[in-house]
Amino acid sequence: MVNIVLFGPPGAGKGTQSEYLIKKYQLTHISTGDLFRKHLKEGTPLGKLAQQYMDEGKLVPDQVVIDMVDDKIKNDGPVTGYIFDGFPRTVAQAEALDKLLTSKNTPIKCMIALEVSKEELVKRLLNRGITSGRADDQDETKINTRIQVYLDETLPVAKYYEKQGKFNPINGIGEVNSIFNSICSIIDK
Ligand code: B4P
């Protein structure tokens, strides 16, 4: 079983690369952003709670995120591995994930961090905002908040995995295919 964490700021290409990785390695996708958007669409209490935070570009409280992931993993049947996309976003989430996977005897193999400049992130997200309908992609102030939240609250997660010898930074600017190949070479090591 191969478990991978795909890490990076908003707009770094996590969702984009996940699609290719799922196909190649038959992984089960856990995107906390997608799960929240699904709840939102279905009008669940969890979706309504998450919306307040997402619309402002802030993080949903840790315990809410952790419980949702816990529930998803516990209810999944047998899987060949997970790709965690946009999770963990805080050290508390990373610790909770380790605990959960240790109890299943299946640790994280590696964390891959996509590195992209702030100018490129803003450009990509505004561009996606034209078609996505996502409120958090349409307003440059909200995008800047998301990037700042990433720097303040999420970046320490990189150190967490670095200490475990699992941190692998890669350049997230360039052709989607060549970034994909760089990711595969890390997974296949
Ligand atoms: P997410 O859904 O995770 O959204 P995201 O950070 O914007 O990344 P995404 O994966 O969608 O974008 P991608 O980089 O692939 O989170 C949304 C919100 O949910 C958060 O702000 C937060 O409120 C909440 N949330 C989610 N998880 C949470 C957690 N764990 N804890 C607390 N709160 C949480 O792609 C962006 C764009 O770039 C796309 O348009 C794509 O086409 C383009 N692109 C990708 N690769 C490219 C390349 N190589 N070149 C050019 N463009 C590229």
Q: What is the pLDDT of residue 93?
A: 98
Q: What is the pLDDT of residue 77?
A: 85
DSSP track, 15-49: HHHHHHHHHHHTPEEEEHHHHHHHHHHHT-HHHHH
Q: How far is the CA of 172 from the centre of ligand 1 (A)?
A: 13
Q: How far is the CA of 113 from the centre of ligand 1 (A)?
A: 13
Q: What is the pLDDT of residue 64?
A: 96
Q: Is the CB of 39 under 6 A from ligand 1?
A: no
Tell me the CATH number for domain 4-187.
3.40.50.300
Write the residue with the smallest CA distance to atom 10 of ligand 1. Answer: 15
| Beta-ladder partners of 113 | 7, 169
Q: What is the pLDDT of residue 21?
A: 97
Query: What whole-number distance in Å separates Cα of residue 40 and Cα of residue 33?
Result: 10
Write the residue with the smallest CA distance to atom 49 of ligand 1. Answer: 176
**What is the pTM (predicted TM-score) of this model?**
0.94
Q: Where are the domains of the chain?
A: 4-187
Q: How far is the CA of 85 from the centre of ligand 1 (A)?
A: 9
Mutate to test the pocket of ligand 1, among 6, 7, 16, 146 (most ligand atoms within 8 A of CB): 16
pLDDT along the chain (189 residues), means of 10: 96 97 96 96 95 94 96 90 98 97 92 98 96 90 96 98 98 98 96
Mutate to test the pocket of ligand 1, among 14, 52, 134 (most ligand atoms within 8 A of CB): 14
